[in-house]
Structure 1
Amino acid sequence: MRISGKRVANDRAPAGRLNVICQPVPVGVRLATGYVAEADDNEDHHQCTSNTVAVTGYRATSAHALAFERAARPKPSKLLVNSHLRGIVERDLKKRYSPEQISGRLKREFPDREEVRVSPETIYQSLYVESRGALKRELTASLHTGRTLRRPSRKVGQRENRIPGMSNIAEHPPEAEDRAIPGHWEGDLLIDKGNLSAIGTLVERTTGITMLLHLPDGYKPDQVAPALASKIQTLPAMLRRSLTWDQGPEMRNWKTVAIDVDIEIYFCDPHAPWQRGSNEKTNGLLRQYFPKGTDLTIHSAEDLDRVAAELNDRPRKRLQFQKPIEATGELLLQ
C-alpha cells in the first residue's frame, strides 16, 4: 500500500473534498503540517506513523478541520480586508504604476512585512472582477491600456522603410546586448492617427531612462535630425555610445546626427520591432499620456519633460523594481 495524499484502496472517504481521517492513522498527510509519509505493505507503516506524530505533532482530526477551513471558497480579497495595503495600491495606481510594478515595489519597500504584499493578479481582479471589487473601477483608467474590460494583447503595427547607407543592427557592439554598459539607446516616433504630428522617444537600454523629442513643426528628416542631436547633446559622454532606430524615413539625415553628437547609429531589420524592445515597451506606456488619434502638437516641450520625469519615476521589474531615475543617478555617481 502506497499513500501520498490519495484515496486508500478499500477505505471509504468521508463526504466532502478531503479523505484523510482514519483510525488508526496509517500515514502522515500533507495538510496542516506539510508532511507526507509513505509506507509500503512490507514496511512497518505503523512505526512510520508513530515517528511522524512524535516529530511533527500531527493530529488527523485537527488537521482535517484546519484543511477544510483553508479550502473554503470564496475567500475575501486581501485588498478588501487590508485597508492599509489598499491605500498604497490606490495611491500607486493613481501614479500610473502597473500592478506588477506595485507588487514588486512593495517587496522592495517592505521586505520584512508579509502583510504588505499583493500579487499583480489580485490587483487586476480587484479592478475588473465585480465580486472581488475592492478597488474602484475608475482606477482602470490609470492602467497602461486604460480599458474597463480585460482583453488579450495585440501586436503593434510595423513599418518597412529602408535608409540608404545605414549600419545594420548586426554591427551593433556586443556590449549593448546584455545591457552591462550604459549609453546604448533605442529610438522611435509616436505618430498620431492622421500622420500629422509626432513625438520622438529615446530609451536607454541599461537604466530604462526615457527622453522625449519635441517636434512641433513635423517629423520630416530636416526637423527630426536637429531635435535629436540637441537632445542627445544634453547627455554626458558616458551615456552617448550608440543609438538604434527603425528604418523610418525620418532618419534619412542620420549621418548628420552621428557626426554632430559623436554617436554610432544603427538600424533594425524590417518587421523586427523586438530589436528595439525597450523602446517598444516604453512607447506603449507613453500612450497613457498621448492616446492614439490625438493631436500631438498641443503638447509643449515642458509637457514632454514632465511626462518623461513621471515615467522615469516608475519602478521597473528588470531593475529589481528600482526606478530608472535612481539607476541613472547611481551610474553618474560612480
Structure 2
Amino acid sequence: MSHYNQLTAIERGRIESFIQLGLSLHEIATRLSRSVSTISREVHRCTKEYKALAAQKDYLKKRKACRRPRIFENAELRSSVIKAIQDDHWSPEQIVGNYIRTQGSSPFSFVTIYREIHRYNLGVPRSHGARGIARKLRHRGKTRHKKGYVEKRGKIPISHKLAERPLEADKRTRLGDWELDTVVGRDGGDVLVTMIDRRSRLLLAQRAAGRKALPVLETLKAIFSKIPHDILHTITPDRGKEFGRHAELTNEYEVEFYFPNPHAPWARGSNENTNGLIREYIPKGTDISTITDEEINRMVWQINTRPRKMFGWKSSLEVFWSEMFHLA
C-alpha cells in the first residue's frame, strides 16, 4: 500500500519561491521533506519557468482525466433514468426499486440520482435559473425542513443595511471601504478571516481559532489595529453568526458595519472573487491549523501582487500604495 501524498497547492507555491531564491532541487526537497525525484517531476510540469498556479492547474486537469468514470457518464443508463423521471414521473427511489425487482440489483442508489440531478441536472441543458429535472420530482426541487424548524440565518443584530452605506463606498472612489468574510477549512477547525479593500482589491488575511464570534472578533481586532484610522471607513460582511459581535468593533474603532440581504454574495463581489483565488491555495476541507503564518503571508503577497486587468495590469498593491501616497 502506497503512503505517497500528492503535493499541495501551498507546497507548489513554496517551490516557486525557493526556485526564485536560487535553491537547488536537493535543497528544496530537504525543506519540503520530499524526495528529489518528486521535486524534479514537479518542476518539469512547466516547460519554461516554473509557476505554482500553472502547475496546480496542470495537476488538477490530469487528476480529473485519470479518475474513475461516473455511473451516469453511461449515456444509455442516464437516458433511461431521465425518461423514467420526465415521462413516467417516477421518483429516484421508484427507479432503483424497479431495477432491483426486475434485474435483481441496481447499479446505483437513489441518493446517487439525487446527487447527479443537483450536480449537473443529469447532463440535460437548462436555462439560467431553472431548476431543471428537479422540477419533475414530486417535491418540485424544493428543499424541506423538519417539523418545528425555525429559520436562524440572518438573525444577528444588524446595525445598518447595505442601502445605508455611503455613496463613496458604493462607487469605490476611496480607500478604506472593506468587504469581510471567512474562508472555512476543516469542519470545526481554524478559519481564515479575509478583508478586501473595495477600491484597490487589496487583501488582508489572518487566521482565527474557529468560526465562533469570539475568535473572529479577536482576529478582527488584530487586523484593525494595523490599519490606519483614515482608511477604515466602512465594513461590509455577510450575515454569518461569526460577525455577531461587530458592535464592539464599532465602539472601539469607530467604524460602521453595513449588512447586505441574506444569501446575497454579489453584494460583496470583490470578497467572493478573492476567496475563490484563496481556494487555489487552500482547497475546501484543508486543515488551516497546519498552514504556517509564513505560508499565509506568502499567499496574500502573491494575490496582492498579481496583475489586474481592471487596473491596466497593475497589481492591487501598486494601486493601494499609489492611493496612499495621494492621501499623505
User: In structure 1, what is the Cα distance between the partners aligned to 2:309 and 2:289?
Assistant: 32
Query: Which of 201, 215, 239 is 1:208 aligned to?
Result: 201
Partners of 2:161 and 2:194 in 1: how far apart? Answer: 20
Counterpart Cα distance in 1 of 2:188 and 2:273: 21
How far does the alpha carbon of each residue in 1:217-241 deviate from its partner, in whole angstroms, 9 at most, with x for none? 2221111112102202211223111
CA distance in 2, matches of 1:318, 1:162: 36
Mapped to 2, the partners of 1:188 and 1:147 lie a distance apart of 29
Q: What corresponds to 2:287 in structure 1?
A: 295
Equivalences for residues 7-156 of structure 1 within 5 A? 140-143=54-57, 146-148=60-62
Letter of the 2:190 counterpart: S
Deviation (angstroms), 1:160:
4.0
- Which of 149, 162, 165 is matched with 2:155 structurally? 162
CA shift, 1:141, in A, is 3.8
CA deviation vs aligned residue, 1:136-172 (integer Å, no higher than 9, x gap): 999744449954469x9xx9xxx94331243211111
- The separation in 2 between residues aligned to 1:173 and 1:233, in whole angstroms, is 23
8 Å contact 2:190–2:207 — kept in the other structure? no
* Higher CA-based Rg: 1
Distance in 2 (alpha carbons) for counterparts of 1:186 and 1:295: 24
Cα 1:147–1:211 change in 2 (3 A) is farther
Question: Is contact 1:198-1:218 (8 Å) kept?
Answer: yes
1:273–1:145 CA distance, 2 compared to 1 (3 A)? farther
Residues in 1 aligned to 2:261 and 2:197: alpha-carbon distance in whole angstroms: 20
Which protein has the bigger helix share? 2
Instruction: Return the match for 1:242 from 224, 234, 248.
Output: 234
SS at match of 2:171: coil
Change in CA separation of 1:245 and 1:145 when aligned onto 2, cut-off 3 Å: farther
Contact 1:140 1:146 in 2 (8 A): no
Q: Structure 1 residue 209: deviation in Å? A: 0.5
Residue 74 of structure 1 is matched in structure 2 by none
User: Partner residue of 2:217?
Assistant: 225
Q: Secondary structure at the match of 2:269?
A: helix
Identity fraction in percent: 29
Instruction: Give the superposition deviation at 1:134.
Output: 10
Give unpaired runs (5+ residues) of structure 1: 1-93, 96-126, 128-132
Amino acid at match of 2:222: S
1:328 to 1:296, Cα distance in 2 relative to 1, 3 A: same
Which of structure 1's runs of 4+ aligned residues deviate more than 3 A? Answer: 133-150
> In the superposition, relative to structure 1, how do residues 296 and 178 fare at CA in structure 2: closer, same or farther (>3 Å)?
same
RMSD in angstroms over aligned alpha carbons? 3.3
User: 1:185 — aligned with what?
Assistant: 178
1:28 aligns with none
Mapping for residues 261-300 of structure 1, pairs under 5 Å: 261-300=253-292
Which residue in 2 is equivalent to 1:258?
250
**Secondary structure in structure 2 of the residue aligned to 1:227:** helix
Alpha-carbon contact 1:169-1:268 (below 8 Å) kept: yes
Q: Tell me which amino acid in the other structure corresponds to 2:291.
A: H
Classify 1:144/1:238 alpha carbon distance in 2 versus 1 (closer, same or farther; 3 Å). farther
CA contact (8 A) 2:188 2:210 kept: no
How is 1:313-324 mapped onto 2 (pairs within 5 angstroms)? 313-324=305-316
Deviation string 1:309-328 (CA, Å, 9 cap, x unpaired) is 11101011221211011111
> Residues of 2 paired with 1:288 and 1:197: CA distance?
18
Gap change, CA 1:138 and 1:186, over 3 Å in 2 = closer
More deviation in 269-278 or 256-265? Answer: 256-265
Amino acid at match of 2:228: P
1:118 corresponds in structure 2 to none
Aligned partners of 1:278 and 1:230: how far apart in 2?
Answer: 22
